[in-house]
Amino acid sequence: MQHFTKIADVSNLSALIERAFECKRSPHAWPSLGRGRTLGMVFFNPSLRTRVSTHRAATLLGMDVISMTVGDETWQLETRDGVEMDGPAAEHIREAAAVLGRYVDVLGVRSFAHLRDRQEDYAETILERFRACAGVPIVSLESATRHPLQSLADVLTIEQFKRRSRPRVVLTWAPHPKALPQAVPNSFAEWARAMDYELVIAHPPGYELDPQFTEGATISYDQDEALDGAEFVYAKNWSSYRDYGKILSQDRSWQITPEKMARTSDGYFLHCLPIRRNMIASDAVLDSPRSLVIEQAANRIPAAQAVLRTILETR
Ligand code: CP
């Protein structure tokens, strides 16, 4: 594997999942694989899970880790081409990416959608600039349109707890006070389809995701109907793709409650975290034994370890 920015970068998905379960069972089995090599992590946005789990995964493999927050611990970066740099950015992403590529062996990048211009966000300008200029493998730590390390951990969690080979998995929109990117639901839909899960995506009208991610999934505007018989309920808020970046609904009746979970087939609750309690899901759901959110977050370590192992063994 050259880069890890989307599922298309993975040549053998079942082998990657098997490798992640090996890492989960025996996290200390490859202490020297990354010795003498360094993971750099560049954050344009905040992070708890991605930052710590990827750092931990790298150190389990013997790698050194350098992480930085852009504009706080580095110069502010200009990402547009051809501009007169007379603004606050002191360095262009072209030089920054090329220089970091000389300092580290693998580079992780987190850069969220700005939700102003759909074409610009879906062009993945920052991630693509790192891919083009760094000259080392790039690992997405969540980009404008995808969060593949999260999706791999989501799939590991479903594989760990599923009761039959093709579970019914419901990805449901839930209310949130702020406009959020579509990266997590896009990516989850992409991975769930690759896993051939029975995928249902429930949301109010106007929240349709980019069809390139959802083709083949059942789309429902009726959350109750979608939840009937669900074995996994993945709640997530996202802003509109069609009316790009807009909040079209804050309908609290889409919050996941014990009554909603009672419609499922003894279903498990998933969320990528961070989660706003009593907005997306009620306390009673998050604190119930059917909530897998902590195990899901724990699976971020074997997910990242499997990806880094694959990249290190490829080079
Ligand atoms: N789920 C996730 O990516 O969490 P962080 O934003 O805290 O990294």
Summarize pLDDT for 226-241 with one digit per residue, the tens. 999 999 999 999 999 9
What percentage of the chain reaches a pLDDT higher than 90?
Answer: 100
**CA dihedral (99, 103, 106, 108) positive or negative:** negative
Q: Residue 189 C-alpha to ligand 1 middle, in angstroms?
A: 18
Nearest CA-CA partner of 182 in 114, 228, 230: 114
Query: At 102, is the secondary structure helix, strand, or coil?
Result: helix
Q: For a pocket test of ligand 1, which of 42, 43, 47 has the largest count of ligand atoms closer than 8 A to its C-beta?
A: 47
Residue 315 pLDDT greater than 90, yes or no: no
List pLDDT tens digits, range 260-286. 999 999 999 999 999 999 999 999 999
Q: What is the pLDDT of residues 122-153, one digit of tens each?
A: 999 999 999 999 999 999 999 999 999 999 99
Mean pLDDT of 62-78: 96
pLDDT grade, residue 56 (50/70/90)?
very high
User: Which strands sit side by side in the sheet containing 38-43, from one edge to the other?
Assistant: 64-69, 38-43, 106-110, 138-140
Pocket test for ligand 1, best of 54, 111, 156, 273 (most atoms within 8 A of CB): 273
Q: How far is the CA of 153 from the centre of ligand 1 (A)?
A: 12
Q: How many beta carbons lie within 10 A of that of residue 273, not counting itself?
A: 14
Average pLDDT over residues 8-33: 98
- Within 27-87, residue ranges assigned H as helices are 49-60
pLDDT band for position 291 (cuts 50, 70, 90): very high
Q: Ligand 1 atom 3: the closest Cα is on which residue?
A: 50
Q: Tell me the β-bridge partners of 172.
A: 202, 235
Q: What separation in angstroms does the CA of 216 have from each of 55, 208, 220, 239, 279?
A: 35, 13, 13, 21, 29
Who lines ligand 1 at CB under 6 A?
Answer: 47-50, 142, 150, 272-274
CA distance 178 to 285: 22
pTM, 2 dp: 0.98
Strand 218-220: give its sheet, edge to edge: 218-220, 198-202, 168-173, 232-236, 268-270
As annotated, the residues of the chain forming the CATH 3.40.50.1370 domain(s) are: 7-146+300-313, 150-297
Compute how many other C-beta atoms are within 10 angstroms of the C-beta atom of residue 266. 10
150-297 CATH pick, 3.40.50.300, 3.40.50.720, 3.40.50.1370, 1.10.287.3510: 3.40.50.1370
Number of other residues whose CB lies within 10 A of the CB of residue 122 = 17
Please determine, for residue 209, whether its predicted confidence score (pLDDT) is greater than 80.
yes
- CATH code for the part of the protein at 7-146+300-313: 3.40.50.1370
Q: What is the mean pLDDT of residues 202-217?
A: 98
pLDDT single digits (tens) 82-98:
999 999 999 999 999 99
Q: Which of 186, 272, 295, 301 to probe ligand 1 with, by most ligand atoms within 8 A of CB?
A: 272
Q: What is the pLDDT of the chain when averaged over all its residues?
A: 98
